Amino acid sequence: LFCPQFYTFTDQCLSILALASFYLLTNAIKTSKYNFFTFLPLNLFEQFQRIANAYFLFLLVLQVIPAISSLSWFTTVVPLVLVLTVTAAKDATDDIVSAICNLCMIFFPRKWMDVQVGDIIKLENNQFVTADLLLLSSSEPLNLVYIETAELDGETNLKVRQALPVTGDLGDDIEKLADFNGEVRCEPPNNRLDRFTGTLTYAGQKYPLDNEKILLRGCTLRNTEWCFGLVLFGGPETKLMQNCGKSTFKRTSIDRLMNVLVLCIFGFLAIMCTILAIGNFFWEMNEGSQFTVFLPRQEGKDAKFSAFLTFWSYVIILNTVVPISLYVSVEIIRLGNSFYIDWDRKMYFARNDTPAEARTTTLNEELGQIKYVFSDKTGTLTQNIMTFNKCSINGKSYGDVYDYTGQRIEITEVNTVDFSFNPLADPRFMFHDHALVEAVKLENPEVHAFFRLLALCHTVMAEEKTEGELLYQAQSPDEGALVTAARNFGFVFRSRTPESVSIMEMGQQRSYELLAILDFNNVRKRMSVIVRSPEGKLSLYCKGADTIIYERLHQSCSKLMDVTTEHLNEFAGEGLRTLALAYKDLDEDYFSQWKQRHHEASTTLADREDKLDQLYEEIEKDLLLLGATAIEDKLQDGVPHTIEQLSKADVKIWVLTGDKQETAENIGYSCNLLREEMNEVFIISGNSPEDVRQELR
């Protein structure tokens, strides 16, 4: 039974008022398998799970029994100790490397392990985040911080987090931070990296806390001089450690094969010893009593007992049938192979100065045993560099270039659009259809509304390095591409605060009041913003997957929806990523009432997401369709050749993508995942194992 933890903090100290007894864990973590005291017993336990090692230990026990041993126990103990020592040294080296990685993250002016829940800590640029923190303030304007989450989710693009304005006013004033008095209610520890639910109560006001206010352990602070954060979770309760499994001893297919082979050798050895013991039994029965030439026959000795002793004697004599150096030879080969991986120039990426690195010497040969590859598309097969390629606005498609006869012209860099009319245009942006620029210049209302939506409906942050030099920080490359497109066509996003968004519309500065952001997630597949224009007009702007947007359109958009669908299918057939855009005007009285319910839902802990989703569904309906966008994400160099070679090696490849079916099929052919010689490509639409099996039949 879990209950929300009730934290209050004063003077950098956090006390807990919970419905159940609770104690705080330290911030210390452990990802290595051993420590100084457990290394020897644990490592020996792991090594003796190998059958050959257990066999030689058993053989050593037999050799200390004088009645059956004809060899000295030294002949077994020396090679066995040597084998165990070599393997232990290799395992210790691997574990020390893991421990050093921990130490590299732990030792700062104050050790990470000493950080307590409730501490207010300062982080500086390029430092790892020490625990799960509530961001309080930062050196950046609007109390933004930029973080890299590659250690958490593998994504290399920077993400933006922003402190609440009420805590951002604390700045870097130590006295104010020490006097900060408030109350945090938050969810119990969990492994959801993309979700956080909590509230901050300060000065009689309650403020909602979500993932955009939280810095997770394992992130790296980038492009931010400093920031202060309140420790909410530490050590094993952080989301990073909640996602980490326990370190286990992994066995490779070679290890399992060697165990099977050793068992077969044991069987052969047992048969040989049994045959020899049976021979000894009959010899003792027939000849043993007369065979007293050198030594007198021992009293009480019979043929059965003699055969029993002979069996174990031959186990010792024939012990070399099982090669004691088998495992250590394999370990040495693995170690050498790991060096070859580190030194391989063909696995060196010169652009980022990144060589291949074998982080374990135990699993190298498993790379050659792979049968299935499960791959993401965006950022793995593709470059994750999005470019605005085409669009559809009010039933007209833009992006292709035609000659005077109506034939499509091959697009080259020669006929790119001249954006010199816009002093704030991004010089790296390229577009080829001059008709869209002319529509903007002619002040086509639908075209202006289209780009106004792109300039307002996003979570991008703008940074102006010098006069006119804008730098956009987008959590999603798609958003960055769309905002850049709007910028070049005259709708320049300049800045934002938690309460407003400022854009330059065809040379005129305009500031929109930002009233609500209806966040995107993988279930909603859309995002919306509600803004008030300088003239006082309330509008909701929405963008998302076309199937989701179409479900929420007003019935008057049916004809426009049919035309736009044709354009979307054309874009998807070219492998482009598509989004639909829509808007609606809002009634002031209705919105005031909806806003109050939205605030209540956003500051509750119980079922916050469900309550917010219900409110979002309520207001995101009867939308008016504006058009659609098409973004290109090119394949990375060498992807088609790599997939072709893997397919020839009979490796089964699965690619996961959230694109439309037509886009996914086009990408499949582009990267050689699907090939023309395939007889048929069929779609499996089942949502359960039974449905899928039925379709496959």
Q: Dump pLDDT digits (tens) for 398-439.
A: 988 766 666 667 666 557 888 888 888 888 898 988 899 999
> Which portions of the chain are predicted below pLDDT 50?
1-23, 103-108
Q: Where are the beta strands (DSSP E) in 143-239?
A: 144-148, 159-162, 182-186, 198-202, 205-209, 214-215, 220-222, 226-233
> Could you tell me the two tokens for 55?
């066999």
CB atoms within 10 A of CB 543: 25
Neighbours of 635 (CB within 10 A): 17
Q: How many CB atoms lie under 10 A from the CB of residue 482? A: 27
pLDDT at 6: 34
Between CA 153 and CA 106 the distance in angstroms is 21
Q: What is the pLDDT of residues 92-105, one digit of tens each?
A: 777 776 655 554 44
Q: How many angstroms separate the CA atoms of 697 and 30, rounded? A: 49
- Residue 282 marked as a ligand binder: no
Long-range CB pairs of 648-651 (<8 Å, 24+ gap) are 650/371, 651/370, 651/371, 651/372, 651/373
Q: How far is residue 21's CA from residue 11's CA, in Å, rounded to a whole number?
A: 23
Write down the pLDDT at residue 8: 37
> 522: buried, middle or exposed (CB in 10 Å: 19+, 13-18, 0-12)?
exposed
Is 543 known as a binding-site position?
yes
**CA–CA gap between residue 50 and residue 31 (Å, rounded):** 24
C-alpha atoms less than 13 angstroms from C-alpha of 509 in its C-beta half-sphere: 5
Q: How far is CA 676 from CA 24, 634, 672, in A?
A: 60, 21, 9
- Beta-bridge mates of residue 530: 516, 540
607 in a labelled binding site = no
pLDDT score, position 381: 87
Spatial distance between the Cα atoms of 401 and 435, rounded to a whole number of angstroms: 9
Examine the residue annotation and report whether 91 is marked as an active-site residue of this protein.
no
Residue 577 among known ligand-binding residues: yes
Interhelix angle for 74-106 vs 39-47, to 10°? 120
Least Cα distance to 213 among 144, 116, 120 occurs for 144
- Condensed to tens digits (0 to 9), the pLDDT of residues 35-85 reads 778 888 887 887 777 777 777 777 777 777 776 666 666 666 777 777 788
659 in a labelled binding site? yes
The structure tokens listed for 70 are: 């004809």
pLDDT given at position 67: 66
Structure tokens at 324: 């004691």
Given the DSSP bridges, would you call strands 372-376 and 652-656 parallel, antiparallel or unpaired? Answer: parallel
Question: Which tokens sit at 511?
Answer: 């500031």
Statement: the pTM of the whole predicted model exceeds 0.85: no
Surface-to-core class of residue 551, CB atoms within 10 Å of its CB (0-12 exposed, 13-18 middle, 19+ buried): exposed
Q: Are 168 and 270 in contact (CB under 8 A)?
A: no
326-343 helix and 74-106 helix, angle to the nearest 10 degrees: 30
Alpha carbon of residue 253 to chain centroid: 27
Strands, DSSP E only, in 453-569?
461-466, 469-473, 491-497, 500-505, 508-518, 526-532, 538-544
Binding residue per annotation — 168? no
User: If residue 633 lies in a helix (H) or strand (E), which one and from where to where?
Assistant: strand 624-635
3-state secondary structure 596-611: HHHHHHHCCCCCHHHH
- Distance, in Å, from the CA atom of 163 to the CA atom of 98, rounded to the nearest integer, reads 34
Q: Are 617 and 659 in contact (CB under 8 A)?
A: no
Q: What is the dihedral of CA 431, 432, 434, 439, to 10 degrees?
A: -40
Which residue in the list 173, 179, 376, 691 is annotated as catalytic?
Answer: 376
User: Tokens 């702007």, residue?
Assistant: 541
584 is in an annotated binding site: no
**Which residue ranges form the domains of the chain, and what is each CATH number?**
5-27+115-242 (2.70.150), 382-634 (3.40.1110.10), 637-696 (no CATH)
Cβ contact 569:526 at 8 Å: no
Q: Is 256 annotated as a binding residue?
A: no
382 beta partners: 635
DSSP string, 327-393: HHHHHHHHHHHHHHHHH-GGG-BGGGTB----S-SSSGGGGGG--EEEEESTTTTEEEEEEEEEEEE
